[in-house]
């Protein structure tokens, strides 16, 4: 049995690859430039661009299962190619926004829903993972924290329940190994609702210094973040954060139910990645 792991350079994909490799599975890692992939010994690499259908058949040849990042543009063609190749199970990394209150208008939700819909139409056996905010989103603050400058962000008191990327990978690996999870849609959260200010407080505590915060207005956030975030995605993020001000995020025990252990905390993630936030010499 061969498992194809897409997005093998990503924070989730490379962890999925490592977990499956440790469990002894036969693996194939894909990327747009496979020569740049760093993979465990014995793992094959292949070129796969989810926007280029001409790369699908070769990447899927002989593959039984797939861990897939959501990419809406080529989704229908990819699933058709997977069906031709005889793929027996797809584990799709989607987003909790698909099940959110604004799913019909939210750009992130619509993007991921398009992939979920294409997967459902394909009739391929599937497990859909819907995580919310990632712990790793905090890396966006690292440059300011290293320099001792204020972290500038809007809606500092917005709640999320950020999830450790390792927990997403653990659930994905379990889904690929456990046929009982076929047909399931799993919403994933971290174990605790935290505001952005509280996350920065945890980082500051571990660093032994206060991290100053400067709250941006929505217009200021659009001006600053709009330089590198597409407008529809930025509108989605700002809308979610605005809705989360003063409203603790829902936390679920899905990770613990699937893996048998509690989800990792943001404090743990911060400790593991503290070097990215340490002051520059």
* Separation of alpha carbons 210 and 206, rounded Å: 10
Phi/psi at 44 (5° precision): -75, 150
CA nearest to 185, candidates 96, 71, 276: 96
The span from the first CA to the last CA of the chain, in angstroms, equals 49
Question: With the C-alpha atoms ordered 31, 178, 122, 92, is the resulting torsion angle positive or negative?
Answer: negative
Phi/psi at 130 (5° precision): -120, 80
Structure confidence at residue 95 (pLDDT) = 97
CA nearest to 79, candidates 27, 112, 116: 116
* Separation of alpha carbons 170 and 45, rounded Å: 22
Between the alpha carbon of residue 86 and those of residues 5, 13, 66, 157, the distances in Å are 16, 22, 11, 48
Q: What stretches in the chain show pLDDT beneath 50?
A: none
**Is this structure's pTM higher than 0.85?**
yes
* Separation of alpha carbons 54 and 56, rounded Å: 6
Structure confidence at residue 255 (pLDDT) = 98
Structure confidence at residue 281 (pLDDT) = 60
Given the DSSP bridges, would you call strands 194-195 and 159-160 parallel, antiparallel or unpaired? antiparallel
């Amino acid at each position: 049995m061969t498992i194809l792991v897409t997005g093998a350079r990503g924070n989730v994909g490379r962890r999925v690859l490592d977990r499956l490799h440790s469990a002894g599975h036969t693996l194939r890692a894909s990327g747009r430039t496979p020569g740049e992939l760093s993979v465990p010994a014995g793992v094959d690499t292949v070129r796969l661009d989810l926007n280029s259908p001409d790369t699908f058949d070769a990447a899927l040849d002989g593959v039984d299962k797939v861990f897939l990042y959501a990419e809406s543009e080529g989704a229908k063609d990819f699933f058709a190619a997977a069906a031709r190749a005889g793929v027996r199970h797809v584990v799709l990394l989607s987003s909790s926004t698909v099940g959110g209150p604004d799913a019909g208008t939210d750009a992130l939700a619509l993007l991921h829903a398009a992939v979920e819909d294409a997967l459902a139409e394909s009739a391929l056996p599937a497990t859909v993972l819907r995580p919310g905010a990632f712990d790793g989103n905090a890396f966006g603050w690292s440059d300011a924290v290293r320099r001792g400058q204020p972290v500038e962000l809007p809606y500092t008191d917005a709640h999320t329940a950020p999830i450790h990327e390792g927990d997403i990978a653990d659930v994905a690996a379990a889904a690929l190994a456990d046929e009982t999870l076929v047909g399931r849609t799993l919403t994933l959260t971290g174990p605790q609702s935290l505001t952005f200010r509280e996350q920065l407080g945890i980082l500051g505590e571990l660093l032994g210094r206060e991290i100053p915060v400067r709250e941006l207005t929505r217009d200021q956030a659009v001006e600053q973040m709009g330089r590198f975030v597409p407008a529809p995605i930025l509108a989605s993020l700002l809308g979610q954060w605005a809705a989360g001000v003063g409203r603790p995020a829902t936390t679920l025990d899905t990770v613990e139910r699937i893996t048998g252990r509690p989800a990792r905390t943001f404090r743990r993630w911060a400790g593991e990645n503290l070097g990215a936030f340490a002051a520059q010499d």
